[in-house]
Structure 1
Amino acid sequence: MKNRFSSAILFLLAISAPALAQESAQKTPRGITIDDFFQIRDVSQPEISPDGQWIAYAVRTRILKEDKNEQRLWMIATHGGEAIPMTAESVSSSHPSWSPDGKYLSFLSARDGGKSQVWLLDRRGGEAVRLTDTVQGVDDFEWSPDSTRLVLILRDPKPEDIEAAKNREKPAPATPPRPRTPPPLVIDRLQFKRDTVGYLDRRRAHLYEFNVSAKTTTQITSGDFDDSEPAWSPDGRLLAFSSNRTSDADANYKSHIWVVAADNADKGARLTQLTPDPGSDSAPAWSRDGKWIAYVTELDPHLFYYNTRHLAVVPATGGQPNVLTRAFDRSVRRLRFSSDSKYIYFTAEDDGMQNLCRIPVGGGEITRPIGGRLAVGTYSLSKDDSIAAQISTIDRPDEIFYLLNGAGEPTRLTKTNDGLFAELRLAHADYVHFKSKDGTNVAGYLYKPLDYTPGKKVPTLLNPHGGPVGQYAAAFYHLAQLYAANGYAVLLPNPRGSSGYGQKFCAAIYADWGNKDYQDDVAMVDYAVAQGIADPDRLGVGGWSYGGISTDFIIAQTQRFKAAISGAGVALIASFYGHDHYQRDYDIELGHPWDNKAVWDRISPFYRVASITTPTLFMGGDIDWNVPILGSEQMYEAMKTLGRTTELVVYPGEYHGFTIPTHIKDRMERFMAWYNHYVKGDSASARPPEQTATASKPVD
């Protein structure tokens, strides 16, 4: 494939590479810094072209100077070579997808101040061309097998979207209209909030068929339900998708796999439910011979996200599903069929790793085409079962790897972050095992500081992970490396509640937070002390989300930590009911707070705040509806009332996961200042230097 930028780029790389290599060789490797985080490029979304010759992928850049994020699409040959930029700078693009005939690389992008639309790049050359022009923007899309159609996921448009579309065709008024006061929000749903979205209304996401040549759109599904994850049948006649179409969808997780005709004109009046109750079922994938549909299923509705997510298959014409991974007891994701339809590929969390696995359609032995202590993210399969995969390791962020014919060892193709990492010296991390108080075997990652001398006791930070369902995997973690570069040992435990160790281990904290997971977290501290690594007089703890909740529970039960940082945590759990977006989860796991007050109170760190003497920094985003700032405010106010050392930092315009580069930098600077002051005992302020001068009064 020709690209008008490629010749110039290859020339510049050719003449600059020797000079860069010489300069890099002359530099002494150094420890990682806060600013290095903004030099790391996030590589993701590999997609192999239909001819198997190219891999398109996305690269995200955090631009600190302009305080924004950008994502560009790139392409690299499967036989290696230099990467070629496919989309322009200054605009973000995502979801690279090849048309099955190989003519186009398509993607989503919101350009010129418009909504997110599908764009096309012709492989024969030329600029990107907008394909769709929907008033509400495109949430997602998939190509039909014959490349003549797309299935779009569109949310019902707002009245103002329709009005704006009409006004585009009218001449601009001489006098701009006066801004209207927003109307009141009228809420009538049980589930009425979502982080990054805000208040929910009755506008729903449905499937639409888009004709590429005619540029016409036909609605396929409708109703007071959300439809997602569409997958085309190989003959292009049918679409499988996931949807919770129960009458009380806001109160349960009973999503199922449905099948509908792709040319359906009655907006979903004729649907076939393919999977049985109770659910929850998701992520359908069609076998290439059209005989099977694979999907992800949960077997115990009572456990919802504590469930192991199993791989199941069902005949495409209907019938009894077969759960293939019962004995495996590990959660699976990202299902893909082999070219001969005899195997199903998937990623699975397992023992602090995330591997690419494969199992026969009829069940049997699970093999790992890409295994080991690494983390496989998204991946793509070609027609000969070659694999393009996004892979991270403990010492490297994600890059794109290629595995020819799905056998042997994967080859790394991209070198996106090589220039930066050639300058860095990283801390060593060990995957260690230890026993909790009750004898339970637990594991986690232990980072020793740079220049660690065996037998020397060092300041140590415990960093509980979020979730609680999730795990620390064998992936690059900048924050752990940052702490280690500043002289700390770092503990990343996978306590009970974590995924990757089976359903019983995961569900052990069901309606019992801050108990067994607390025991497991502090057991890793005990292990590090016993190994002669952690200095018991210089310990810190901190985490975000459930990691913040864990931090609150930990410091309420022990005074051994010299400092704590609790990000996006909770306090009085009952006060979150109807305030965050977990109403459905609370009802299932805890019951109603007015019926089960004792359960709600037991898992509320707020009632233990009088026991906390650890200097604690509380943080959060002011528009976080996942774990609202309310929890941090309550804990801060209580500790302040008690006369304890504490501080609250609220970041404007931030959801649960921070995105604004300057806020991310500020947060890391505060992490370091707080720990250095209270754990190491440094004389410098517990606030970053540039913040100290403007502070209203000292922290101490």
Structure 2
Amino acid sequence: MEDSETAAAYRRVVEHLRALHEPAFGRPQALREPHVTQDGGRAVVTGAVLDELTGLPRTAVYAAVAGELRAVSAGRGSARWARFSPDGGTLAFLADRREAGVFQLHLLRDKGFGEAVPAPEAPGSVEYLHWSPDGRRILLGVSGLGADRSSGEGSGSNNRRRTERPSWYPEVEDDATDDSAWRRLWVYTPATGTLTRLSPDGLNCWEAGWCGPDQVVAISSGEPGEDAWYTARLSLLDFDGQVRELLDSPVQLALPAGAPDGSRVAVIEAVCSDRGVVAGDLLLVDPATGVVRRIDTARTDVTQVQWLDADRLGYLGQRRLDSVAGIVDVPGGAAQEVFATELSCSGDAFYPTGAFTADGRVLTVRDSYSLPPQLVLTGESGDRVLASTAHPGTDYLLSVAGEAETVTWTAPDGLDIEGILCRPEAQGPFPLVVNVHGGPIWAFQNCWSMRYPWVPLLVAQGYAVLNPNPRGSGGRGQEFAARVVGDMGGADTHDYLSGIDTLVERGVADKDRVGLIGRSYGGFMSSWLVTQDSRFAAAVPISPVTDWYSQRFMSNIASWGDRFLDGDPETPGTLVHTRSPVLHASKVRTPCLNVAGALDRATPSGQAREFHQALRANGVPSALVIYPEEGHGVRAYPAQIDLLARVLRWFERYLPAP
């Protein structure tokens, strides 16, 4: 802490976080990856658990039993991604019991609780598993320990082991591709205990699923680098080592899933800015002929698919701010919705996810700004809450975090824009902080804490926080999402500014006390907006891009920026140059707190440093904070406490609340 006021803010943040989390230490506080048996009799979910305000939360697998969440196995470390076998008799999940962060397959048989049996270790860390339709085999997606994480997961390398080398030893990169950088497919056969590699050398499999009992569909590329995902293709693999391309696309492909009889493949086609953050069109591909059908999901951007049987395909997705689930009658192509709700069904994930029973019920994690996460099974008879994470700490947050409401406004070109406004339960006008989401292709929903810890913290201190979904956001169809491609920092700039104008006109926001905060693309936009408009009293860009030219030669997703800007760094005057905030620093009058993680490979910390130094050279108040153990975003405690304290102090200094 540099000064006594920041130290005081740190103590206030600690008190806030303890009031929120301490009553549930040792219990699940955030939920994701729900799964359910085909008959709906048993449900499991991954829970994030804090034991103290240190490090990252661990995860554990919980079963819903008599209205409570009960850990299914008591092993040490973390566990996640639990999946029931087709007959419901065996639960498979991933756990890192032998080495922290390196997950391997474990099996819990006979429908019980207790100590799981480990399967043979795969060479790397298992990211996901899928049972074959006949229940005889388990497909494993295995990441090498040197593979990159996506920016949505925090960037940096995936579980890279620290070797015992002297402190002077250099970091080395050469032309050779590190074998530990690849993602490969393995198959485990429980009856024989054998583990067999499926994918051949030279094929990087980002994600995969079964296509009948004897083939696998995968999103694959010929290179393992994170940038290669953006041009990956849909491939079919068989157990003879043959690989056949099924589909190429000018945009991104994800979430492959084959029908139980192998007759069809479902895949999502979407314009995407981050691997793992996918919402788009539902396609059905005939693996025999390659014929593609596009399914009408009533303007829902699909975010997950699951085959119920060979003729019924379940899906979840986002439509504007709503979560939607439906079932496609595949022969006829018609989709019937199971539910559409204003509640978020994302859990602790980016977009709506869930699991279907054989009779079409849907298990989801539901929450809102005023509803702590619940595990809910939904069918024709309505919702059945299986378990809730509510506790005295969530009661505390509800008492201080104000209220959330949907707001809409019209951009200068006539496009309607919407967002979620979180505000104190008092009369405005309030000092307003605009919270810019990442991506740019992602979208806010009305969800618990808005997925950003600074939102309820700021509201509790008297600030209103606008969480906008500008053009380029998910949930509005691919045409809306693509409006940001080739124009980042263009028309979407005015989506934010017109939203602020609207809240000022409505008496919600004080025009002289408006601030910005955002991470990733939100960090870029927080840096960019202060170069385009002088109204902002303070800004906090986190993990930003501020110089698209240097980003092109330092990031692990370098060519993504070129595609989304439609610019060439070697050609002066393209958007790579004209949309770089650092080259407009002389226009800035806004004090900026620039934040980055030293381990960030997506938006390296030099981006924050460039903007900081450019601002200082132009006499603008600026601070630079680089966290040495953080990647893309600041996630672990106590670094997150420190960040929240600095954010709070920065806004209180330059746009104080009453």
Q: Tell me by how many angstroms 1:513 deviates.
A: 2.3
Q: Which residue of 1 aligns with 2:217?
A: 240
Pairing partner for 2:651 from 660, 675, 687: 675
Q: Which residue of 2 aligns with 1:473?
A: 445
Q: Deviations over 1:580-621 (max 9, x none)?
A: 122221343434311354321111001111111111111111
Q: Which residue type is aligned with residue 315 of structure 1?
A: D
- Answer yes or no: is 1:91 the counterpart of 2:95: no
Question: Structure 1 209/457 Cα, relative in aligned 2: closer, same or farther at 3 Å?
Answer: closer
Separation in structure 1 between the aligned mates of residue 636 and residue 410 of structure 2, nearest angstrom? 40
- Answer yes or no: is 1:113 the counterpart of 2:99: yes
Q: Which residue of 1 aligns with 2:344?
A: 375
Pairing partner for 1:271 from 218, 243, 250: 243
Q: Is the 8 A contact 1:329 1:503 kept in 2?
A: no
Q: Which residue of 2 aligns with 1:45?
A: 33
Q: Which residue type is aligned with residue 331 of structure 1?
A: D
Separation in structure 2 between the aligned mates of residue 209 and residue 305 of structure 1, nearest angstrom? 23
Q: Which residue type is aligned with residue 622 of structure 2?
A: T
Q: Which residue of 2 aligns with 1:293?
A: 265
Q: Tell me by how many angstroms 1:373 deviates.
A: 1.0
Separation in structure 2 between the aligned mates of residue 523 and residue 305 of structure 1, nearest angstrom? 30
Q: Is the 8 A contact 1:310 1:329 kept in 2?
A: no
Separation in structure 2 between the aligned mates of residue 525 and residue 180 of structure 1, nearest angstrom? 50
Q: Is the 8 A contact 2:279 2:317 kept in 1?
A: no
Q: Which residue of 2 aligns with 1:354?
A: 323
Separation in structure 1 between the aligned mates of residue 144 and residue 429 of structure 2, nearest angstrom? 59
Separation in structure 2 between the aligned mates of residue 392 and residue 469 of structure 1, nearest angstrom? 22
Separation in structure 2 between the aligned mates of residue 607 and residue 584 of structure 1, nearest angstrom? 20
Separation in structure 2 between the aligned mates of residue 644 and residue 385 of structure 1, nearest angstrom? 58
- Answer yes or no: is 1:104 the counterpart of 2:104: no
Q: Tell me by how many angstroms 1:182 deviates.
A: 6.0
**Secondary structure at the residue paired with 1:586?**
helix
Q: Tell me by how many angstroms 1:206 deviates.
A: 2.0
Of residues 105-114 and 528-537 in structure 1, the stretch that sits farther from structure 2 once superposed is 105-114
Q: Which residue of 1 aligns with 2:307?
A: 337
Q: Is the 8 A contact 1:258 1:275 kept in 2?
A: yes
Q: Which residue of 1 aligns with 2:380?
A: 407
Q: How many residues were matched structurally?
A: 609
Question: Structure 1 37/361 Cα, relative in aligned 2: closer, same or farther at 3 Å?
Answer: farther
Q: Tell me by how many angstroms 1:388 deviates.
A: 1.2
Q: Which residue of 2 aligns with 1:15?
A: none
Q: Which residue of 2 aligns with 1:33?
A: 16
Alignment of 1:610-689 (within 5 A): 610-680=586-656
Separation in structure 2 between the aligned mates of residue 249 and residue 96 of structure 1, nearest angstrom? 26
Question: Structure 1 640/52 Cα, relative in aligned 2: closer, same or farther at 3 Å?
Answer: same
Q: Is the 8 A contact 2:72 2:113 kept in 1?
A: no
Separation in structure 2 between the aligned mates of residue 92 and residue 242 of structure 1, nearest angstrom? 27
Question: Structure 1 247/663 Cα, relative in aligned 2: closer, same or farther at 3 Å?
Answer: closer
Question: Structure 1 240/534 Cα, relative in aligned 2: closer, same or farther at 3 Å?
Answer: same
Q: Deviations over 1:138-157 (max 9, x none)?
A: 33322233433222233468
The two structures have a TM-score, normalised by structure 2, of 0.85
Separation in structure 1 between the aligned mates of residue 167 and residue 613 of structure 2, nearest angstrom? 38
- Answer yes or no: is 1:323 the counterpart of 2:297: no
Alignment of 1:425-436 (within 5 A): 425=399, 426-436=401-411
Q: Is the 8 A contact 1:34 1:482 kept in 2?
A: no
Q: Is the 8 A contact 1:355 1:375 kept in 2?
A: no
Separation in structure 2 between the aligned mates of residue 433 and residue 177 of structure 1, nearest angstrom? 56
Alignment of 1:148-547 (within 5 A): 148-155=136-143, 185-188=172-175, 203-234=181-212, 236-245=213-222, 253-262=230-239, 264=240, 268=241, 270-275=242-247, 280-298=252-270, 309-325=280-296, 328-339=298-309, 341-362=310-331, 366-377=335-346, 378-403=353-378, 406-423=379-396, 424-425=398-399, 426-450=401-425, 452-453=426-427, 456-476=428-448, 477=450, 478-547=453-522
Q: Which residue type is aligned with residue 323 of structure 2?
A: Q
Question: Structure 1 491/185 Cα, relative in aligned 2: closer, same or farther at 3 Å?
Answer: same
Q: Tell me by how many angstroms 1:186 deviates.
A: 4.2
**Secondary structure at the residue paired with 1:147?**
coil
Q: Tell me by how many angstroms 1:180 deviates.
A: 11
Q: Which residue type is aligned with residue 87 of structure 1?
A: S
Q: Which residue type is aligned with residue 302 of structure 2?
A: V
Q: Which residue type is aligned with residue 584 of structure 2?
A: R
Q: Deviations over 1:499-523 (max 9, x none)?
A: 2223333222323222211111011
Cα RMSD (Å): 3.2
Alignment of 1:5-20 (within 5 A): none
Separation in structure 1 between the aligned mates of residue 224 and residue 536 of structure 2, nearest angstrom? 49
Separation in structure 1 between the aligned mates of residue 530 and residue 599 of structure 2, nearest angstrom? 26
Question: Structure 1 329/82 Cα, relative in aligned 2: closer, same or farther at 3 Å?
Answer: closer
Q: Which residue type is aligned with residue 259 of structure 1?
A: L
Q: Is the 8 A contact 1:356 1:376 kept in 2?
A: no
Q: Which residue of 2 aligns with 1:144?
A: 132
Q: Which residue type is aligned with residue 606 of structure 2?
A: L
Question: Structure 1 444/139 Cα, relative in aligned 2: closer, same or farther at 3 Å?
Answer: closer
Question: Structure 1 229/352 Cα, relative in aligned 2: closer, same or farther at 3 Å?
Answer: same
Separation in structure 1 between the aligned mates of residue 20 and residue 371 of structure 2, nearest angstrom? 13
Q: Is the 8 A contact 1:240 1:260 kept in 2?
A: yes
Separation in structure 1 between the aligned mates of residue 645 and residue 622 of structure 2, nearest angstrom? 17
Separation in structure 2 between the aligned mates of residue 492 and residue 140 of structure 1, nearest angstrom? 32
Q: Which residue of 2 aligns with 1:9?
A: none
Q: Is the 8 A contact 1:306 1:503 kept in 2?
A: no
- Answer yes or no: is 1:554 the counterpart of 2:529: yes
Question: Structure 1 150/307 Cα, relative in aligned 2: closer, same or farther at 3 Å?
Answer: closer
Q: Deviations over 1:323-381 (max 9, x none)?
A: 113x8454312111234x44322222221233223333246554431312122232111
Gaps of 5+ in 1: 1-31, 159-175, 193-199, 683-700
Question: Structure 1 520/103 Cα, relative in aligned 2: closer, same or farther at 3 Å?
Answer: same
Question: Structure 1 442/301 Cα, relative in aligned 2: closer, same or farther at 3 Å?
Answer: closer
Q: Tell me by how many angstroms 1:663 deviates.
A: 1.0
Q: Which residue type is aligned with residue 58 of structure 1?
A: T
Separation in structure 1 between the aligned mates of residue 598 and residue 214 of structure 2, nearest angstrom? 46
Larger radius of gyration: 1
Q: Deviations over 1:411-444 (max 9, x none)?
A: 2211222443334324221111111223322111
Q: Which residue of 2 aligns with 1:698?
A: none
Q: Is the 8 A contact 1:348 1:356 kept in 2?
A: yes
Of residues 281-290 and 527-536 in structure 1, the stretch that sits farther from structure 2 once superposed is 281-290
Of residues 250-259 and 393-402 in structure 1, the stretch that sits farther from structure 2 once superposed is 250-259
Separation in structure 2 between the aligned mates of residue 307 and residue 59 of structure 1, nearest angstrom? 22
**Secondary structure at the residue paired with 2:602?**
coil
Q: Is the 8 A contact 1:48 1:388 kept in 2?
A: yes
